[in-house]
Amino acid sequence: MPLVFVPTPLGNLRDVTLRALDALREAELIVAEDTRVARKLLRGLGIEGREIWSYREQNADRIVPQILERARASFVAVTSDAGMPGISDPGSELIAAAREAGLEIDVLPGPSAATGVALLSGFSLSRFAFEGFPPRTRAARRARFAQALGANATTIWYESPHRVAAALSDLAAVAPDARVFFVREYTKLHEQRLTGTPEQIVRELPQPVRGEVAFAVAPYRAAPAAPSFEATEAAIDLMLAQEQRPRDIAKRLAAAGAGDRRALYLRATARKAHQKGPIKEPS
């Protein structure tokens, strides 16, 4: 018998697919993260009287063998509280275990907040990455953001409503001018969408933040590091050799991120005077 992964609506029950309805009606056992959420969903879909087991990270080691044993003789449907099971929950480990046990597996297509937010953002999706939940501590979050943004691709993140302001503040510390598209309660009645820098979004968040949260960060390249003192001196000497004026040199180097324009002008003037050398008295 099959072990079928069934995506569930993110918030709007009308997003359920016909194949998902068929699977939930035919399943002899439904495996869910939270049995209370699953029963509420099934009631909303007009499906009653199903046996439901809880499967989550905390009980995965114990329950996985039982699920596999049941799937050998029964039609078992695996669901998530919302969206695609196996995305940011232990479902992928269940698939790996079922495949190793030689069981038939199927995954139905359906709602996913990650892809919905990615498309809504309007950011380039020629390359994008789903990063899941950032770490919980400040240092680890900042390191993770820096690493992910280094790939220069759109990144998609989930976060707890209780930690999202801190996470966005840490993103601002790494990439203050990053472009962020933020969605709260995607597909639900009180859906909220925000666009801006991380700090702009933090300022617009409701207090307290409630509901499911996801955000996309546009491809990002950090500003290049300022050239070294020696490299700037060499650039000044080269432009002086090309008979450029100190004020023009300062303007070009400041635009390239080499420093303050007035300070660069003084350095170029000093380098020009040094190259001319001391003035000799006529003999």
State how many domains the chain has.
Answer: 3
Same domain for 200 and 119: yes
| 8 A C-beta contact, residue 204 and residue 196 | yes
Same domain? For 103 and 179 the reply is no
User: Do 103 and 117 belong to one domain?
Assistant: no
The pLDDT of residue 199 is 97
Evaluate if residue 99 carries a pLDDT over 70.
yes
What's the rounded mean pLDDT across residues 250-257? 83
Q: Are residues 161 and 97 in the same domain?
A: no
Domain end (from 107, 133, 152): 107
CATH number (domain holding residue 79): 3.40.1010.10
The verdict on 57 and 94 lying in the same domain is yes
Domain final position from 107, 137, 155: 107
14 and 93 share one domain: yes
- Rounded to the nearest 10°, the torsion over CA 182, 184, 187, 188 is -160
Please tell me the least confidently modeled range out of 57-61, 89-93, 193-197. Answer: 89-93
Return the sign of the alpha-carbon dihedral for residues 190, 198, 221, 248.
positive
Q: Cβ distance 226 to 259 under 8 Å?
A: yes
In terms of domains, do 88 and 123 share one? no
Per-residue pLDDT band for 88 (boundaries 50, 70, 90) equals confident
- The string of pLDDT tens digits covering residues 122-167 is 999 999 999 999 999 999 999 999 999 988 899 999 999 999 999 9
pTM (predicted TM-score) = 0.72
162 within domain boundaries: yes
Flag whether 283 is in a domain.
no
Domain of residue 46: give its range. 2-107
Residues 151, 196, single domain; the answer is yes
Does one domain contain both 118 and 92?
no
282 located within any domain: no
Give residue-wise pLDDT tens across range 199-247: 999 999 999 999 999 999 999 976 556 677 888 888 898 888 888 999 9
Q: Is residue 133 part of a domain?
A: yes
**Is residue 224 domain-resident?**
no
E-strand stretches of the chain? 2-5, 29-32, 52-54, 76-78, 104-107, 128-132, 154-159, 180-184, 192-196, 213-217
What's the rounded Cα separation, in Å, for the pair 80 and 87?
Answer: 9
Residue 281: inside a domain, yes or no? no
Residues 44 and 58 placed together within one structural domain of the fold: yes
Are 270 and 256 part of one and the same domain? yes
- How do residues 2-53 score in pLDDT, each as one tens digit? 899 999 999 899 999 999 999 999 999 999 999 999 999 999 999 988 999 9
pLDDT at site 226: 67
Q: Same structural domain for residues 242 and 210? A: no
Residue 151 lies in a domain: yes
**CATH code for position 121:** 3.30.950.10
In this predicted structure, the answer to whether residue 277 has a pLDDT above a threshold of 90 is no
Q: Which of 87, 107, 127 is the last residue of a domain?
A: 107
